[in-house]
Amino acid sequence: MPLSTANLLTAAPAAAAGFSLGGDYFVHPTPAGTYFAVSRPEDDAGRRFLQGLLAEAQTPALTVDALKAWTFLDEQPALAFLERLQAAGHVQGLPQAMQAPAEPDATLLPALLSQLSDEGKAVLADAGGLMLAAVGFKHAHSEQVAALAAELAALQRRHAGLRAQMGLASDGWGLVSAAGYSELSFWPLYVGASRFHLVVSGQPRFNQQAYTRLVWALAQRHAARA
Amino acid sequence: MGLCNMPLPMNPLPPPARPLSGPTLPSARWPTEAFAPVDAWALMRGEPLPAGVRHRAAWRQACADVARDPLQLEAHARRVLLACMAQERLQADGPRQASPGQAPFVYERVHVFDALVDCFLALGSRGRGFRAALLERGRLWLDDERHDFLARHLPDGLSPQDALPTYGTALLDPGLIGLPVLVRQLQPLPFDTQAVVTELAGEPDAAPQAEPASSTET
């Protein structure tokens, strides 16, 4: 797993023997872990670990040796690190290995996007505002919201300091009703060195395996080329 | 003629430049449902939605209310009852013939079971009578397998770590496809777990609760 930049010894204090693996599993991010990994451009050990999992073409088997190699830590600090991700609900164990999505983009992306909106309407765009896939929207509208997403991303970058100063925890931008309900929301996806934009009509449904599969597919097909 | 005898003008305002109705009036609807939410208890009594309130808007508001505050019982009741109404309407109208690329009909994405799962997840073992009443109201729209699943979990509720056979529209379902426990703690940690979580994850608001030392295994 390409987790080459992390030396977590500086982040995790040495722990006494206190952790063990719960069984023979294949480790995979949860939807919450996927969101945590790609929703912000910050670079930290947790995000690097989760993005490393998504860079694999197959869910890797979880062993102590593999965990030590991924984290550059000794056994117990490495297990403690994984336990923190587990406690945050960011990782899960699969009984069998799972392959990254292999379907063509034209069929895979609309099917996944449809599940991420309560109305079944969503658009995926690249960093430049080029529409990569859409479902539920008219074609002209898809292209317009993709372009708008790129402009909002530029706006967000310019004012990133303000968000940090105000302590805002939100990651997306939205068009909201007077009651505060989202009509159209724009979500950045920082996958590896690439950036994408996810535009969702209605209420986002990111607590889906479809969200993890979408990011996994992007990490395999686009981030690897960056 | 003095001022007192001057007749008052019958129509002091100039006539409107264009009529206040007809095609020139903007078609935008005042979002009354945003300010006057549907009353779950009225729905419980079998009353229809108030005039001018669209089911779609009421459903969206109920979903947002549950997502924002999972312990808001009225929102759970409203959402389950609106899901039942959607199924009734879908049964009456039949499925819509969607063209390729068109978004699915909103009623086809509303599932009574998922709304009930959210209520069971939010309350855990609490509110058994409330959950039982909602389960009974939604019984008609549940297959036997899913009804039995929820009935089995009436005493203890549901946990996010349970395998949940949802349709993908439950708001509080973490969407797990595997097991949530990879690592087991055998002894208490000799350091401040919260500080480590904050430093490693870089996300203070996503930090987990440190487990008490008494809960460790031996």
ipTM: 0.81
Neighboring chain A residues of B160 at a CB cutoff of 8 Å: 89
Say how far apart CA A148 and CA B8 lie, in whole Å.
Answer: 57
Which of B168, B182, B208 faces A93 most closely, judged by CB atoms? Answer: B182
Q: Residue A2 half-sphere exposure, CB side, CA atoms within 13 Å?
A: 10
* Domain ranges within chain A, ordered by starting residue: 8-94, 105-225
Nearest CA in chain A to B196: A12
Minimal Cα distance from A110: which residue of B? B101
Compute the distance between CA of residue A15 and CA of residue A221 in angstroms, rounded to an integer. Answer: 38
CATH class of A105-225: alpha beta
- Phi, psi of A183, rounded to the nearest 5 degrees: -100, -40
CA-nearest residue of chain A to B213?
A: A18
Closest CB to A88 among B104, B178, B206: B206
Of A119, A177, A181, the CB nearest to B106: A119
Query: Above 80 in pLDDT, residue B206?
Result: no
Per-residue pLDDT of chain A (226 residues; tens, 9 = 90+): 544 434 443 444 444 458 889 889 999 999 999 999 999 988 899 999 999 999 999 999 999 999 999 999 999 999 999 999 999 999 999 999 999 999 998 999 999 999 999 888 999 999 999 999 999 999 999 999 999 999 999 988 888 888 778 888 888 999 988 778 888 999 999 998 899 999 999 889 999 999 999 999 999 987 655 4
| pLDDT 10s digits, B80-123 | 999 998 888 888 777 665 555 555 556 667 889 999 999 999 99
3-state secondary structure at position B42: helix
Residues of B in contact with A18 (CB under 8 A): 185-189, 216
Q: Which residues in chain A are closer than 8 Å to B65, comparing Cβ atoms?
A: none
pLDDT in tens, B50-83: 777 778 888 888 898 999 999 999 999 999 999 9
Contact A90, A33 (CB under 8 A): yes
Please list, in sequence order, all residues whose beta carbon lies within 8 angstroms of the beta carbon of residue A200, skipping any fewer than 6 positions away: A116, A117, A121, A122, A182, A184, A185, A187
